[in-house]
Chain A
Amino acid sequence: MKKLYWIFAVIILFFVGDRCGGFVLKKMVSNSEFRYSKMYRGDADCDILFMGNSRGLGFYQPYIEEVTGKKTFNLSYNALPMNLGRVLLQDYLKYNKKPELLIVDITMMNRVDTTLISGFNVYTPYSDSLGAIVKEHTKNVFYAGKLSHLFLHNSEIFQRAMFYYSNSDEDWIIDRVINENMVNAVDEQRPFYAGPFDYSTVEMMFSELNKTVKIAKENNIKIKLVVSPFFPPFVKKIVNFEHLQKKVKMATGDDFHSSPFFPPFVNRAVNLDSLENRKMSKGIGFYNYADAVQDPTGFGDYQHVNIKGAKIYIDKMKADGIFD
């Protein structure tokens, strides 16, 4: 019987420690200078709001603020999918003042990373809609987070919140130059080099883009859609780009309807020339900067600009009046 008490002791001690630890960690997350902590704290008012995946980190805030004189905030995160972006936008508007302009890198629509979504479990105490999306994609993680508060903080998002506990992440961008091996191997057909960008894949993301546009319109926020730069020789690795373009046009119009029968364009070669900068109907701008940075040293890898590349990109955006 005495042994049984020890087993109960393990269980009770586990939960007591778990709740205490969880409480401390939650406080630390909420006090962090990490972007989402600031956002849920209501410390993220801005004039220009950005949204994207890791490529969206190319919206290098310190330089944009320097050249525009406007306050910025970036919702981008590695592999951030559109549906999560939409929820974050809603939460941003709930806790902070409305921005004048929303700039979205539309290359965030080609995949849904459930691991990342589950990582946002750490912010679910502040947002029911975030909880709903975590529950929708990773039900077990959602409920496990309720059971163990230490588990709630078991993610890269939490680690970043700790990393940026007392210093801002506004200057978060790749700080390396693409290495020579990668430059030389761009034509190889290994998985890493084969071109992971296939834009025909995730239909649901277009309805999420549609919702995002509607939210922006309802809040009188100007919205501009961009394609951030790729390493120039890598551009030819992108497939189904026309498909993306057509779907984006549909998704951003009021007449959007999701069609599961939309013809697939599997492995169709990209014709980036066909995507000229243009103003789309309904007042939404669509701007293609895929080949805006030609200098190879402006890239950290095939898909991400470094600070140097970001500055070239931002200068072009400024010249095109994107930030106006």
Chain B
Amino acid sequence: MIFNSLPFFVFIGIFLPLYFALKGKARLLLCLIGSYFFYGWWDYRFLSLVMFSTLIDYVVGLKLEKEDEDSKRKRLMLISMVVNLGFLGFFKYFNFFQESFISMLNDMGMQAHPSTLKILLPVGISFYTFQSMSYTIDVYWRKIKVERDFIRFATFISFFPQLVAGPIVRASDFLPQFQKDRTFTWDRLISGTGQMIWGFFKKVAIADSLAPFVDQCFQSPEGFSSLHLLIGIIFYSFQIYCDFSGYSDIAIGLARVMGFDFPDNFRTPYFSKNFSEFWQRWHISLSSWLKDYLYIPLGGSRGGSFGSVFFIVMPLFMLSIFWAGSWQTALIYLSILAAVSFATAIYMRKSEANKVKGFTYMNNMVTMLLGGLWHGANWAFYFWGFLHGMYLIVQRFLGKPFGRLMTALRFPKFLQQGTDILIVYFFTCFAWVFFRAPDFDVAAAYIQGIASLENFTPGSIVNKFWALKGFILIGMLLLVEISDFKFNYSQLIQKSPAFRVASFVILLWIIAFFGSFGANSFIYFQF
């Protein structure tokens, strides 16, 4: 079931009154059944996966609490990791490994045929797996207390507003909210509904209106002028932002109506002045997950150990070989990786400070590569992660000198900030090309098409009406986001009921007038 569909509105129309009519265990049970119904609407067979993950982490959690012996605790933890990552790996990466392996064997002259087994990706598996894993890791680290109530725990894992596309909410934030019944309040209903309307505006009016233009561009970039392609990637950057953050807004708003508080998942990411800031504003729940459970355990910006880096880097090396598709390309990949590793090792040997820096770069890169891989088994996501890893590294090298240069040139502060924002946005868009393109050839053709500057005239835009509509909608979004930035628009909405009514009504008019109501799926469902 997706938010922007009629069945969802029927579901929520029945669910919410029942939810507030019930109390205690009965309400919790309704929440669980509702969540399973919501998920099962898409494909009930995959419910068993959610249930199995829930059961494993529930049992492991209980055992971890009782166990004091370190080795046994580690073993328990390993069981949870293997089951969770095993499911994730199997469903997400089986098809890819099968195809790559066969292509490689064929390339080496061995005859191999793909099995007819094509694995369907369960919706939201990456989200609920990470949510479930965070619970087990926190219990293992003794950061949180174990949850003994199975219904409560199962509801935490499968809570329908954020089950399929996040935000990934930590057990430490979410489970305590189940401790007592959430009461209905008008304020929550109004502010939650407001955030949902804002989310629908982003998804239905903006993201889905931009989608046809973007799809056309990436289907075959050779057919379009450089200006058309440039607009295409600008539109994609807003499409993916509005699609994903729109989903988060709807999820957070719905949860708020139900009495739960979720942390923000996006905070105007395209206003970031550097890449570290970008990752503090984009898909915050995943970035902070990766930071807390991967980047910091690896050593973060304070160093690290070769052992832990090796443990993560080796599978990435192996993956690169698979990705290569042929043994010759694999050899080239491995040579490059070996050369980079060798150069890094030499750099790190020079001084203790270099060693710390070297580890920080490696930790950054490993985190971003795994962040890319989290999206799926595709070279494009891997490369997208690599690019963002590189951005973070280059920023550490060049950030300060660039700042000094701007100051020396006596750039006014607003111009300096504007330049920073544009630079970050430009490189983010560059990485989006690889994220969106179906293969490397298309991505290369896309970038080549823009860089050629061929036919850089408004007349060369193939569907001017889509473009015009897109720019109007992006303009509206930016207007609201900038005014929120400057005048704290959200506060004004909270304080003034008249202003709130006007804002809601205007948004609803815009949705009715510009919205795309084809019940288009959310981009992040595929992850």
Residue ranges of A at the interface with B (Cβ–Cβ < 8 Å): 3-4, 6-7, 9-10, 13-14, 17-18, 21, 115, 140-141, 144, 148, 150-151, 153-154, 156, 159-160, 163, 175-176, 179, 181-182, 185, 190-193, 301
A179-B517 contact given A13-B501, A185-B222, A193-B220, CB 8 Å threshold: no
Picked from A10, A190, A192, the residue with its CB within 8 Å of the CB of B504 is A10
Q: Which residues of A contact B223 (CB under 8 A)?
A: 179, 181-182, 192, 301
Picked from B190, B449, B512, the residue with its CB within 8 Å of the CB of A18 is B512
Q: Residue B414 at the A interface, CB < 8 A?
A: no
The answer to whether B505 touches A179 (Cβ under 8 A) is no
Query: Shortest distance in angstroms between A172's beta carbon and chain B's nearest beta carbon?
Result: 12
Q: Which residues of B contact A191 (CB under 8 A)?
A: 219-220
**Which one of B106-114, B139-147, B454-462, B485-493 is at the A interface?**
B454-462
Q: Which residues of A contact B513 (CB under 8 A)?
A: 21, 150-151, 153-154
Q: Residue B324 at the A interface, CB < 8 A?
A: no
Query: Shortest distance in angstroms between B205's beta carbon and chain A's nearest beta carbon?
Result: 10
Picked from B222, B454, B505, the residue with its CB within 8 Å of the CB of A10 is B505
Q: Residue B514 at the A interface, CB < 8 A?
A: yes
Q: Which residues of B contact A148 (CB under 8 A)?
A: 512
Picked from B220, B222, B501, the residue with its CB within 8 Å of the CB of A9 is B501
Query: Shortest distance in angstroms between B183's beta carbon and chain A's nearest beta carbon?
Result: 15
For A175, give the chain B residue with the smallest CB separation: B459
Residue ranges of B at the interface with A (Cβ–Cβ < 8 Å): 6, 186, 189-190, 219-220, 222-223, 225, 449, 454-455, 459-460, 465-466, 468-469, 497, 500-501, 504-505, 508-509, 512-515, 517-518
Q: Which residues of A contact B225 (CB under 8 A)?
A: 176, 179
Q: Which residues of B contact A9 (CB under 8 A)?
A: 501
Picked from A21, A156, A159, the residue with its CB within 8 Å of the CB of B509 is A21
Per DSSP, chain B at the interface is helix
User: How far is A178 from B459 in the complex, measured between Cα atoms in Å?
Assistant: 13
Supply 12 further A-B pairs (C-beta < 8 A) apart from A4-B186, A192-B219: A3-B189, A6-B501, A13-B501, A17-B505, A144-B517, A154-B515, A156-B466, A159-B465, A163-B465, A176-B225, A181-B223, A182-B222
Query: Shortest distance in angstroms between B69's beta carbon and chain A's nearest beta carbon?
Result: 56
The answer to whether B190 touches A3 (Cβ under 8 A) is yes
The answer to whether B222 touches A150 (Cβ under 8 A) is no
User: How far is A176 from B464 in the complex, measured between Cα atoms in Å?
Assistant: 13
User: How far is A191 from B222 in the complex, measured between Cα atoms in Å?
Assistant: 12
Query: Shortest distance in angstroms between B24's beta carbon and chain A's nearest beta carbon?
Result: 26
Q: Which residues of B contact A193 (CB under 8 A)?
A: 220
**What are 28 A-B contacts with C-beta separation under 8 Å?**
A3-B186, A3-B189, A4-B186, A6-B190, A7-B190, A10-B504, A10-B505, A10-B508, A13-B505, A14-B508, A17-B505, A17-B509, A18-B512, A115-B518, A144-B517, A150-B509, A151-B512, A154-B513, A156-B466, A159-B468, A160-B465, A163-B465, A175-B459, A176-B455, A179-B454, A181-B223, A191-B220, A193-B220
Picked from B190, B222, B514, the residue with its CB within 8 Å of the CB of A154 is B514
Per DSSP, chain A at the interface is helix
Pairs of residues from A and B, 4 with the lowest C-beta to C-beta distance, nearest first: A192-B220, A3-B186, A181-B222, A150-B512
The answer to whether A10 touches B501 (Cβ under 8 A) is yes
A156-B465 contact given A176-B455, A179-B455, A191-B219, CB 8 Å threshold: yes
User: How far is A259 from B327 in the complex, measured between Cα atoms in Å?
Assistant: 54
For A115, give the chain B residue with the smallest CB separation: B518
Q: Which residues of A contact B517 (CB under 8 A)?
A: 140-141, 144
Q: Which residues of B contact A14 (CB under 8 A)?
A: 505, 508-509
For A154, give the chain B residue with the smallest CB separation: B513
For B502, give the chain A residue with the smallest CB separation: A13
Q: Which residues of A contact B501 (CB under 8 A)?
A: 6, 9-10, 13
Q: Which residues of A contact B500 (CB under 8 A)?
A: 6
For A149, give the chain B residue with the smallest CB separation: B512
Q: Which residues of B contact A21 (CB under 8 A)?
A: 509, 513
Query: Shortest distance in angstroms between B502's beta carbon and chain A's nearest beta carbon?
Result: 8
For B461, give the chain A residue with the smallest CB separation: A176
For A7, give the chain B residue with the smallest CB separation: B190
User: How far is A112 from B58 in the complex, measured between Cα atoms in Å?
Assistant: 52
Query: Shortest distance in angstroms between B387's beta carbon and chain A's nearest beta carbon?
Result: 25
Q: Which residues of B contact A13 (CB under 8 A)?
A: 501, 505
For A147, give the chain B residue with the smallest CB separation: B512
For B455, give the chain A residue with the smallest CB separation: A179
Query: Shortest distance in angstroms between B200's beta carbon and chain A's nearest beta carbon?
Result: 14
For B506, give the chain A residue with the smallest CB separation: A17
The answer to whether B459 touches A176 (Cβ under 8 A) is yes
Q: Which residues of B contact A154 (CB under 8 A)?
A: 512-515
Q: Which residues of B contact A18 (CB under 8 A)?
A: 509, 512
Query: Shortest distance in angstroms between A190's beta carbon and chain B's nearest beta carbon?
Result: 5
User: How far is A195 from B137 in the complex, measured between Cα atoms in Å?
Assistant: 53
Which residue of B219, B504, B505, B517 has the most chain A CB atoms within 10 A of its CB atom? B505
For B464, give the chain A residue with the smallest CB separation: A163
User: How far is A4 from B7 in the complex, measured between Cα atoms in Å?
Assistant: 26
Q: Which residues of B contact A7 (CB under 8 A)?
A: 190
Query: Shortest distance in angstroms between A173's beta carbon and chain B's nearest beta carbon?
Result: 12
User: How far is A150 from B454 in the complex, measured between Cα atoms in Å?
Assistant: 39
Which residue of A141, A154, A175 has the most chain B CB atoms within 10 A of its CB atom? A154
Which residue of B190, B219, B500, B504 has the most chain A CB atoms within 10 A of its CB atom? B504
